[in-house]
Structure 1
C-alpha cells in the first residue's frame, strides 16, 4: 500500500510539473505595445511569438492565432493552439497589390514567388519581377491556380479576409494563410501600424519600426498644422457607380483623414466605418453646397470638367463643380493604393494642400490635382 501511495505521489507530481511547465511556456516574456491598431496583438515567448488577429466584424472573437517560430529552430513543445508560421517568411504568395507593395517596402520582394490580380500591381520592382516571370501569375484571387502554387513551392499566402468568406481549394494546401485585416482599421495610423507586424513576419523589424515611426511623426505634425485653421472647408468624395454612390461613413478611414486634414466631411453623421450606397439625389441634396469634391478614378487619360460632365450631366449641379474646386487622383498613373495604407502621411499631406494650400505653399501634390477644363 505504501508503495502504491508513493507511486501515486510521484505520478501526480510529474503530471503537475508537466502542466506547470506548459503553463509557464504559455506565459509571455513580453507583450508589444500596439499604440494605434485595434486589429492585432503580439506576445513574445522565449522560443516563439504569438500574433493574434482580432475578428474585425466581432471584436469579442479572435479571427486567427499565429505561432511564429524561427525557421532555423525546432518547433517548441507546449505552445497554445494556433497556426504555426515559420519566419522570416519565404516563398510568399500575395493576393493583392497592397501586400505585394508592403513586402517590397520592407525590402523582401525577392521572397515573393506568386501573385494574384497581377494586372493591378504597378510597384516598379514587383512589376519587373512579374514581367520576367520571377513572380508567377496565379490568376484571380477568387480562383487562384492551385497547381501552379504547389509547383512554385509556396509556403505562405498573404490575403485580405472578408466576412463569411473562405479561401476555397487554397485552404487544403496545408500552408498558412495569413489573414491581413489591416484594411479594416478605422484610423490611418492604426492601419499603418500593421507594418510592425509585417516586419516581424519578414524578419525586418528594425526597418519596419523605423518607417512607421517616421510615418507617425510626419502624420502627427501635419495634423497639428491643420488643427489650428480658422476656416474648415466642407468636403465630399467619390462619384456614382452604376445606380449608387458609395459614401464613406462618419466613422470611416477616409472620414478620419478629412478631419485630420482640417475639413468638415459632409457625411460625418452617416453611421458606420464602411461605405453606404446612396442614390444620386440623396448625395446631391446633402453635398450640393460643399466647397470641395474629391474623386479617385482609373483611366488612360486625365479627367476634365468636360469629361466629368459628359459622364453624368447632373454632376454640374454641385457648387464644387461650378466653382472649379474638384480635385482628382488618377490611380492609373500614381501608386495611390500601393502607398497610402502604410504611408498615410503621404495622403494627409495632399489633403492638407487641397483644403489649406496656404499651409504648404511650395508643395507639389503626390496624388491629387485640380481638374482642368
Structure 2
C-alpha cells in the first residue's frame, strides 16, 4: 500500500503532453549539426528543445521523443507528443558505469542520487558518493528498488535500452527514462557525439561540444597516420562466452576502430552494429589464420597463454596463439569501458601501437598488453 501511495505521488512530478501544434522553429542547434551519431536528432524551438532517439534495431521506428523545457519556467502549451524533461536535470538515477563516466566528464556527478549495480561503478566521484551515503544503492538494473527510487526523490533515470525489453515498474512511476542508445552507434565518434545530448540535459552544451571537438580532432589525426598503409594485418576479436563467441559485427564501432587503426577485421562483412553470437567452429574456420587476436577479460591476475589454453584447449590451434600474437585488455584493471565511449582516440592509439608500432614509436599502451 505504501508503494502504491508513493507511485501515485510521483505521477504529478512528470507528464507527457498530447499531440499539438509545434511552435515556430528557431533553430540555433539543429539536427544538421550532428556529424557522426545516427541515433538521435536535435531541433530547437522557441520554448523547448526536441530530441528524438531512433530505435537502433528498427530505423523506421522512433524510440523516444524528449521535450526539454526550462525548469525555471512554466511548461509551455501546444507541445507535440513526447516526454517532458525539465532542464537542467537534477536528482538523477543511472544504471551504467558508462553514463557515470560521461556525467563525470561534464562535472555533474553531484546530480546523481542513485545507481544500480554500484559494484561496477568505477568513477571515483560516484564511489565516494556511495560510500558517504549521498548516492543510494538501488540494486540490480533488471529489478531496481522502486520504493527507494521514489523515496530519494529521483526525477530522471538514464539507462541503456535493449531490444524487445522494458524497464518494468520504473515505467509506471512517472519518472522520465532517458534511453541512452549510444552503445549501438556504428562509428566511434558517433558514440562520442552522444555527449552533446547529455550536455543539453545538464545545461552544459558548450562544455559537451568542446569535449567532442577535442576528441574528434585527436581521433582524426591518429586515423590519418594509417590512411596510406598497405600492410594491413588480419584481426580476430574476443573469445568464447558460454557456448557462443560474440564477435563485433561488421558495422560495429570496434570493427570501424580496427579499420581506422590500419588493420583488416576478419568479420567485417558480418551485418549489424552490435555483436553477433557465432559457434566456435564458425569463428575457427574463418579466423584460424588471423595475424592478431584481441582479447578482453576481467580477472584479478594477468591472463597468460597457459590460462587461455586451460580455459578452452582448441584456442591453441589459432595461428595468433601459436605465434604469440595475442594482445589482452584486463577491463578490471583499467578504465576501458568508462573511457573509450567518450575518448575513442585512446583505444585507437592502442590499436595502432599493436598493428603498426612504428607509427607511434615510444608509446606506452593504455589498455592492451602483449599476452605473457
| TM-score, normalized by the shorter chain, greater than 0.5 | yes
**Offset of residue 305 of structure 1:** 1.1
Q: SS where residue 206 of structure 2 aligns? A: helix
Measure how far apart 1:26 and its partner are: 4.5
Give the number of equivalent residue pairs. Answer: 351
Q: Offset of 1:65 from its aligned partner?
A: 0.8
Alignment of 1:49 with 2:49, yes or no, is: yes
What is aligned with 1:337?
A: 337
Tell me the equivalent position of 2:10: none
TM-score (norm 2): 0.92
Task: Describe the SS at the equivalent of 2:361.
Answer: coil
Aligned match of 2:152: 152
- In the alignment, the residues of structure 1 paired with residue 174 and residue 282 of structure 2 have an alpha-carbon distance, to the nearest angstrom, of 48
Match of residue 323 from structure 2: 323
Alpha-carbon distance change, 29 to 266 in structure 1, aligned in 2, over 3 angstroms: closer
Aligned to 1:191: 191
Q: CA deviation at 1:27?
A: 3.0
- Deviation string 1:59-82 (CA, Å, 9 cap, x unpaired) is 122111111011111111121111
| Corresponding residue number in structure 2 for 1:25 | 23
Q: Is the 8 A contact 1:53 1:65 kept in 2?
A: yes
Tell me the SS of whatever aligns to 1:227: coil
Stretches of structure 1 lacking an aligned partner (at least 5 in a row): 1-21
Q: RMSD between aligned alpha carbons?
A: 1.3
What is the TM-score when the length of structure 1 is the normalising length?
0.92
Aligned to 2:165: 165
Residues in 1 aligned to 2:345 and 2:37: alpha-carbon distance in whole angstroms: 16
Partner of 2:363: helix, strand, or coil? Answer: coil
Structure 2 counterpart of 1:226: 226
Contact between 1:26 and 1:78, CA under 8 Å: does it hold in 2? no
Deviations 1:90-122 (A, max 9, x none): 001001111111111110000000000111111
Separation in 1 of the partners of 2:323 and 2:173?
Answer: 56
The answer to whether structure 1 residue 350 and structure 2 residue 360 are counterparts is no
Partner residue of 1:93?
93
* Alpha-carbon contact 2:52-2:65 (below 8 Å) kept: yes
- Highest Rg: 1 or 2? 1
Q: Quick one: distance in 2 between partners of 1:322 and 1:29?
A: 58
Contact 2:25/2:46, CA 8 A, preserved across alignment: no
State the shift of 1:269 in Å.
2.0
Whether contact under 8 Å (1:328, 1:369) holds in the other structure is yes
